[in-house]
Structure formats: C-alpha cells, structure tokens
Amino acid sequence: MRRRALRTGLAVAVLAGSALAPTTAFAAGSHSARTASSADPSTARCTVVKEDSVGAGTGIRMTMSPQGPSVTFFDEGDRSPITRLGTLDRSRPALPQSAGIEEEILSPYGSAPQLLTKTQGGAAQYDLVAFPRMPKGCSVDKALVIEQCTVVKRQDIGAGTEARMTTSPNGPSVEFYDWADSSRITRLGTLDRAHPKLPDSAGIYEEIEGPESWTPRLKSKTEGGSIGYVFFDFAKMPKGCPLH
C-alpha cells in the first residue's frame, strides 16, 4: 500500500472545562503542539487534541488521552460537526462501508495509534495520520486496556462442568464451574500460561494449547475410555488489542 505525505495540522492540549494553559512545545510528526502545565497529573492534563484535514472538505479532530484515541469529523467550510459519521474510538475503530469514506484507527490500544484514511474512491492512495503524543509523564491506562480487551467464553465441556475461558492481553485462562448451580470447582484451580494443564489427579483432562499465541484452544476430555479429545477455541479479543 502506497502512502503519500501527510497534511499539516495543529495539535493543542486541552483542559476539560477550563482554559488552555500552554507551556511546552513538543513534536507530533510534522505538526506543532502545545501542552498544559505538567504540575497536574490528571487525565485532563494528558488529553491532547489535533485537528487535520483528510480531504473532500472533511476535517478531523483527533484526541489522545490515557483512555485511548478518538476521532470526530467536521465540515471544513463552516466547521459544523458531521454527525452522520459519529465518533471513532476503541469500541468503534472504523467507519462502516456505507460512510462513503474509509477511516480507521490503527493500534487503538497502543501508545502511538494512527488514523488510516481515504476519502477518494478507485485507485486513490491511503494516508496515515499520527495522533498527537501525550505530554511527558502521561501514558495509556494499562489497567483500562486489560479491562476493555478481556473477553470471557462459557463452554460446556461435559460431565456437568462449565469452563469459563478468558482471553486478555495477559494471555488465556480457564476456571471451572458446576453447570447446574454455577458454583466454582475450586479443586481444579485455574489454568493459565504458568499452569496450562490440569494434573492427572483431576479426573478430567484439560489443557490450554498455545497459551502464548493469538489462537489458543482448550484441549478437553471429561470421559474415560476410547472417547477422543475435544478442542474449544478461546474467544477473540476486540480488534487492535495487544497480546503481551
């Protein structure tokens, strides 16, 4: 994919509900920027906004904060919001095909996300626009990333047992519950990267295969004899989530 030179925009730090307090200049690609006083470690100090143009008379307002990136769209002529395009963020990183333009936040859970943009059809090229960087001392909220990227799948594995299969940036894990009353089967403990397999004394066979990979699965056998193994895929994390 070919990428052409990015347009020049303006980045400013914003304090929620208060006036701008510019003190320090920093680089955000080829864009100029101002940040608020570093005395306040709050989220407001760490929120930075950049405006840019993606063509076709469309402006973008790109926000970066510890809670992640977001994008809103406005008409470059009268600066009115283009409400039909809504907001892009972690929960909605890309516009639908019906939008008529292509806009997608790449690496929405990372510290250096970018906006992939294309406002012309056919063989027109894509642009990559970098989000503004947060001031020194600010960082992405890692606990929030874990929370937003964690998904749980409830799987009947037989023998009256339910496996609750969790996928997160820290890898897969499994806990076991009684299917009838949803009580935790504590004697089976938890499977994870450090302990991917139940001991032989458990009475059933449960093992996480590929615990370090993007596509782990649970290898399961709850009945004896010649009954074969069954494999259950873990749920996928939302698009853009990291794997440590």
Q: Which tens digits make up the pLDDT trace of 115-171? A: 999 988 777 799 999 999 999 999 999 999 999 999 999 999 999 999 999 999 999
Identify whether residues 213 and 133 lie together within a single domain: no
Q: pTM for the complete prediction? A: 0.76
Mean pLDDT, the chain, rounded, equals 86
Position 57 in a domain: yes
Q: Output the CA angle 46-48-51, nearest 5 degrees.
A: 175
Q: Please count the structural domains in the chain.
A: 2
| Percentage of the chain lying above the pLDDT 70 cut | 83
Identify whether residues 226 and 117 lie together within a single domain: no
Q: What is the reported pLDDT for 201?
A: 96
Identify whether residues 115 and 203 lie together within a single domain: no
Greatest C-alpha distance within the chain: 74
More confident residue, 72 or 38: 72
**Percent helix, strand, coil in the chain (nearest 5)?**
10, 40, 50
* Residue whose C-alpha is closest to residue 63's, from 18, 16, 123: 16
Position 243 in a domain: no
Above 70 in pLDDT, residue 185? yes
Identify whether residues 37 and 53 lie together within a single domain: yes
Q: For residue 192, with 0-12 CB atoms within 10 Å meaning exposed, 13-18 middle and 19 or more buried, which class applies?
A: middle
The gap from C-alpha 176 to its chain's centroid, in whole angstroms, comes to 27
Position 5 in a domain: no
> Starting at the edge strand that comes first in sequence, how are the strands of the sheet with 48-55 ordered?
24-25, 32-35, 10-13, 48-55, 58-65, 68-75
pLDDT band at 20 (very low <50, low <70, confident <90, very high): very low
Q: What is the reported pLDDT for 164?
A: 99
Q: What is the reported pLDDT for 186?
A: 98
pLDDT band at 43 (very low <50, low <70, confident <90, very high): confident
Mean pLDDT confidence for 70-81: 98
The domain boundary residue, chosen from 138, 172, 190: 138
8-12, 30-34, 142-146, 206-210: least confident range: 30-34
Above 90 in pLDDT, residue 28? no
Position 4 in a domain: no
Identify whether residues 162 and 88 lie together within a single domain: no
The domain boundary residue, chosen from 138, 170, 187: 138
Mean pLDDT confidence for 40-44: 65
Instruction: Note down the domain range covering 156.
Output: 144-233
Instruction: Report the DSSP beta bridge partners of residue 166.
Output: 152, 173
Position 94 in a domain: yes
Rounded Cα–Cα distance for residues 123 and 197 (Å) = 51
The domain boundary residue, chosen from 104, 138, 172: 138
Identify whether residues 34 and 106 lie together within a single domain: yes
Position 240 in a domain: no
